[in-house]
Structure 1
């Protein structure tokens, strides 16, 4: 959604990948950040249920998502048992549209919840194979929303099936983000129809 953050007009980076040359780890590898355990995937991701469109409702800011002002959406479509087509779109600050298409490859067949996301022509993100840079760390029982990050928590995306976000959902998101080891003041809201109307720290929402 997922972050889950579209390419900038000049740079062309993408929602579901970590920025530039992020510290990433292979499934089960130790975190590159001393003393901090890597972000863990959910026990099992039902890829078929995960497909379709997700709205980004909050994000850890990255240089590549600064072009997007609102309405950031990720759409996932199955290619084969290991690969998913990723299409990210958003509305820019000038009111125009922005988008990019890439690939998400499952690198953890035990959980299906750790993937390597790549985008053609994007430096450091153009190889179909590589370590996990997209970890589904939480998903609601009804698959209505999810929290996605990378092993070192340098990125984070809150994805929701609906663009509308209730105060109760914001409270739930804050609770999950904290439990996953994120600082909620470093996560900001993403404007969506019926959701956030501005960009502010998640810790101040509610």
Structure 2
């Protein structure tokens, strides 16, 4: 039952990321992302609630460049009791030269679900030192603030939260990690 729920969640994220953006203004992304610098470990600082992560869990992501130019994605959900759920996939940059929009597909049954040609992982902003990144979807349903460290200053977190609100994300619903 747990494996079935996990696959349903993974398929849900891919399906939802393909939703239409016809009623929303275009979401700006980072001018240019150095994909090599983006590789490595990231910690979730805040996110909007979603169907594939429990509200009381926290998440970590590990991105690794592959020889073929794709990115291996390993997402880990960590629950309060210490149990973990991992899902892996592959990310490919949209060929616009910016590397700020990626198409992410997950392994297993979720790989059969199509992903929008515009991508389902938009890097909205990345700090000049690549210490933090604001990531979302153009329909404003999904949003994450990621950091290289498990915690950031309240001032920095607040600045990213304000930016997300300005861009049309429902920041009143944000789940902040402790």
TM-score (norm 2): 0.85
Task: Tell me which of 63, 79, 100 is aligned to 1:92.
Answer: 79
Deviation at 1:121, TM superposition (A): 1.8
Secondary structure at 1:88 match in 2: strand
Task: Tell me which of 30, 33, 58 is aligned to 1:45.
Answer: 33
What CA distance in whole angstroms lies between the structure 2 residues aligned with 1:171 and 1:77? 29
Query: Unaligned 5+ residue runs, structure 1?
Result: 1-7, 26-30, 191-195, 197-206
Distance 1:77 1:59, change over 3 A: same
Summarize deviations over 1:126-161 as a string: whole Å, max 9, x none.
Answer: 468642100001111111101101121111111011
TM-score (norm 1): 0.74
Summarize deviations over 1:7-29 as a string: whole Å, max 9, x none.
Answer: x7523345xx972522537xxxx
Summarize deviations over 1:66-93 as a string: whole Å, max 9, x none.
Answer: 17623x1100000146410000113224
1:61 aligns with 2:61: no
Task: Tell me which of 16, 22, 27 is aligned to 2:16.
Answer: 22
Task: Tell me which of 136, 143, 152 is aligned to 2:130.
Answer: 143
Q: Would you say the 8 A contact 2:29–2:101 is kept in 1? A: yes
Q: Between Structure 1 and Structure 2, which shows a larger proportion of helix residues?
A: 2
Say what the alpha-carbon RMSD is for the aligned residues. 2.5
Once superposed, which parts of structure 1, at least 4 consecutive aligned residues long, lie more than 6 Å away? none
* Match of residue 199 from structure 1: none
Q: Would you say the 8 A contact 1:139–1:147 is kept in 2? A: yes
Query: Unaligned 5+ residue runs, structure 2?
Result: none
* Match of residue 66 from structure 2: 79
Summarize deviations over 1:148-183 as a string: whole Å, max 9, x none.
Answer: 011211111110111122221222122221232212
1:163 aligns with 2:150: yes
What CA distance in whole angstroms lies between the structure 2 residues aligned with 1:122 and 1:38? 30
Task: Tell me which of 103, 125, 139 is aligned to 2:90.
Answer: 103
